[in-house]
Structure formats: C-alpha cells, structure tokens
C-alpha cells in the first residue's frame, strides 16, 4: 500500500510537471507569435549611432531628443564605418531559438555634413567609399544622408561672386552627377538631402520605425501590388465584385485586360481551373484555344451586351496563362516568345 501510495504521488507530480511544461510552451508560443507579428518591434529595435554623427554640427541634440520622445533605444558607439548608424533587433534568447527572426537589420545610414560630402565628391573618392562600405557590409542597403548640402553650395557660390580673391580656387562640386552615378552604377545605394538638423532627426526616427516594422509585414508579390483593386476605376459598376474575387483580380492584373473583359470571362469560366481545363483540352488545337474567348460578350455602360471580347485579348490571355517560362517579359509572351524559344 505504501509503495502504491508513493507511486501515485510520483505519477501525480509527473503529470503536474508535464502540465506546467505544456503551459510554459503554450505561453512561449503565444509570445513568439506576438514577436513574429511585430507587436514588440519598436521596443526591440536598437540604433547604434557612431559618435562622429553626434559630434558633427548640431544633429546630436535633435536626434537624441527625438529618440527619447518616441521611446526608441539607442547606443552611442564606434562603428567600423565612421558617421554611420546601424540597427539591431534585441530578441529574447528563448524566442530567437524557436523563431527565425533576424537580429541584424541589413541597412546602414551614413550622415554627412555638407562640407564633408563635398570633399568626398571633389576628391572623387565617393565610389571608393561606397566600395569600402560594401566590403564591410555586402548585403546591406546603403543610404547617404547630407545636411544643408544645396544651401552650402549656393552660399559658397554667392561668396565667390562677392569675394572672388578668397574663393578663386573653389569650384562647384558635381553633386548632382555624383548622386546620379550612385543611382545608376550602384545597387541598393540611396541618397537623401535634408534641409536642417530637425529634418535629419525626423528622417532617422521615421526610418528606425520603418525598419523595425518592415520585416514583420506580409511580403508583397507582383499580383498583390497590381491586383488589389486599385487599377479598377471607381465608377466601374462591378468594382466591389472584383476586389472580393481572387480570379477576377488575377485577370485584371494581366496587362491590357479591362475589368469588363475580366467579368465576361468570369461569367463563362468562374474559376481559373475551369479555364485552364479548356486550355489543356487535347482535342483542341492551339489556334482554337487562342481564340476560345473571342466571342464572349461584354456589358456596356447601360448593361447591354453590345461588344465581343475580341481576338487580340483572347490570344493575350491564352499566351500569358499558358506561358512556360516565368522570366519572359509579358510583351514578348504576347508576341509568341514561348513558341519560338
């Protein structure tokens, strides 16, 4: 009896331990879901600000005040690249083990005063600097932020006219050409011109907020961008129908396919599968399939079916939906690139 009693107590303790473990796992799973949805994004992001950013000009006061106002964590440090700001996500260790959340944000901001940036452009070392940043952070997006750049250049030009002897050796730096070169010759390299320190602080805080939340947003696809109903005119009578139906959205997303064309196809073929079944019918020739939709009638503004879909639109829809290669341009698909590959 004593042994049975002891065994029962052990089993009871074991069950309680298992229940506690299950409750802990459930709690941890809920916490993980909150982290993955970005509920703690702004609290977990940490901005690592290079000390040179705060030392140059009067940026420091505005920037730190803005960070404190929004409750965003920051750390003044010495980054491998001077005048830079980097970001990290501080995720609890237990959550990091269960989730595949990224702790390092792949973005680097380089803050330059106008004179410093002009020196980079004049010495033609801007692209070398980009290369150095790229070597240190190969997969990062790079942004060059400048303070009062255009006003500084204009001020120097005016001073040159007023006191030509003092500014005799000064030449206007080709900053516009430098920015154009960054855009055309470098990938994932941006630039931002700011008018004053307050605008810089607003931009950096806004950027921090965006970087904190962007990795938790649902990833956009070509279809989600082009077929969200925004390309359907507001006065179209079936606008709400298209916005609620995925198949209609997909049809409208095909270039040059109008909403009324999509509705006419939907009435005959209510799902993508029903149309694809017709396209994959072995008894029909390619020519027949290309002109399968040409006789579908379209509704006019008064609700009367007064026009046909047409051969051009029918052929376009067939060739795009039955394209074999996803990398071919839409216009080339329409011209039959798949058939002449």
What would the pLDDT profile of 243-280 be if each residue is shown by its tens digit? 788 888 888 888 788 888 888 999 999 999 999 999 99
The pLDDT, as a whole number, for residue 94 is 61
Nearest to 193 by CA among 141, 150, 134: 150
Confidence of residue 84 (pLDDT cuts 50, 70, 90): very high
Residue 321: other Cβ atoms inside 10 A: 15
Residue 170: other Cβ atoms inside 10 A: 14
- Start-end of CATH 1.10.150.670 domains in the chain: 238-334
The pLDDT, as a whole number, for residue 19 is 85
The pLDDT, as a whole number, for residue 335 is 66
Instruction: Compute the average pLDDT of residues 325-337.
Output: 66
The pLDDT, as a whole number, for residue 208 is 92
CATH T-level assignment (fold) for domain 40-215 = Rossmann fold (3.40.50)
CB 31 within 8 A of CB 68: no
The pLDDT, as a whole number, for residue 17 is 85
The pLDDT, as a whole number, for residue 118 is 92
How far apart (Å, rounded) are the C-alpha atoms in residues 255 and 110? 40
Identify the residue with better confidence: 26 or 88: 88
The pLDDT, as a whole number, for residue 341 is 46
The pLDDT of residue 228 is above 60: no
- DSSP assignment letter at 106: E
Nearest to 335 by CA among 53, 297, 323, 164: 323
| Percent of the chain with pLDDT strictly greater than 70 | 79
For all residues of the chain together, what is the average pLDDT? 82
The pLDDT, as a whole number, for residue 128 is 93
Enter the pTM of the model: 0.60
Nearest to 192 by CA among 141, 158, 262: 141
- Start-end of CATH 3.40.50.10130 domains in the chain: 40-215
How far apart (Å, rounded) are the C-alpha atoms in residues 325 and 341? 10
CB 199 within 8 A of CB 61: no
Nearest to 53 by CA among 141, 144, 138: 144
* CATH number for the domain running over 238-334: 1.10.150.670
Q: What is the torsional sign of CA 70, 147, 195, 203?
A: negative
How far apart (Å, rounded) are the C-alpha atoms in residues 42 and 215? 12
DSSP one-letter string for 320-340: HHT-S-TTS-HHHHHTTTTTT
Phi, psi of 323 (to 5 degrees): -65, 140
Identify the residue with better confidence: 326 or 69: 69
Give strand ranges (E) for 129-202: 141-147, 189-194
CB 262 within 8 A of CB 236: no
Q: What is the pLDDT of residues 57-70, one digit of tens each?
A: 788 889 999 999 98
The pLDDT, as a whole number, for residue 224 is 59
Instruction: Compute the average pLDDT of residues 19-33.
Output: 76
Q: How many helices (H) and strands (E) does the chain have?
A: 18, 8
């Amino acid at each position: 009896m004593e042994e049975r009693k002891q065994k029962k107590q052990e089993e009871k303790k074991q069950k309680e331990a298992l229940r506690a473990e299950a409750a802990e796992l459930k709690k941890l799973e809920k916490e993980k879901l909150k982290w993955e949805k970005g509920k703690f994004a702004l609290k977990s992001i940490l901005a690592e600000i290079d000390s040179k950013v705060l030392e140059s000009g009067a940026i420091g006061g505005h920037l730190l005040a803005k960070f404190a106002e929004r409750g965003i964590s920051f750390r003044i440090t010495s980054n491998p690249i001077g005048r830079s700001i980097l970001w990290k996500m501080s995720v609890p260790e237990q959550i990091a083990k269960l989730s595949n959340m990224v702790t390092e944000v792949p973005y680097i901001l380089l803050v330059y005063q106008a004179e410093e940036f002009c020196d980079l452009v004049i010495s033609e070392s801007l692209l070398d600097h980009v290369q150095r940043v790229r070597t240190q952070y190969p997969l990062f997006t790079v942004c060059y932020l400048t303070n009062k750049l255009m006003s500084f250049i204009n001020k120097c030009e005016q001073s040159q006219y007023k006191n030509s002897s003092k500014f005799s050796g000064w030449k206007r730096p080709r900053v516009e050409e430098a920015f154009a070169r960054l855009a055309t010759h470098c990938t994932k390299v941006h630039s931002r011109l700011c008018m004053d320190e307050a605008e810089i602080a607003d931009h950096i805080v806004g950027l921090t907020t965006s970087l904190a939340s962007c990795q938790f947003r649902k990833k956009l696809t070509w279809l989600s961008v082009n077929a969200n109903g925004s390309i359907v005119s507001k006065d179209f009578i079936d606008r709400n129908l298209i916005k609620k139906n995925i198949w209609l959205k997909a049809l409208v997303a095909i270039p040059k396919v109008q909403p009324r064309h999509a509705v006419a196809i939907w009435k005959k073929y209510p799902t993508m599968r029903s149309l694809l079944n017709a396209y994959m019918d072995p008894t029909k020739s390619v020519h027949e399939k290309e002109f399968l939709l040409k006789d579908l009638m379209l509704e006019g503004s008064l609700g009367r079916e007064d026009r046909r879909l047409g051969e051009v639109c029918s052929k376009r829809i067939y060739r795009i939906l039955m394209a074999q290669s996803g990398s071919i341009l839409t216009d080339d698909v329409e011209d039959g690139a798949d058939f002449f590959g």
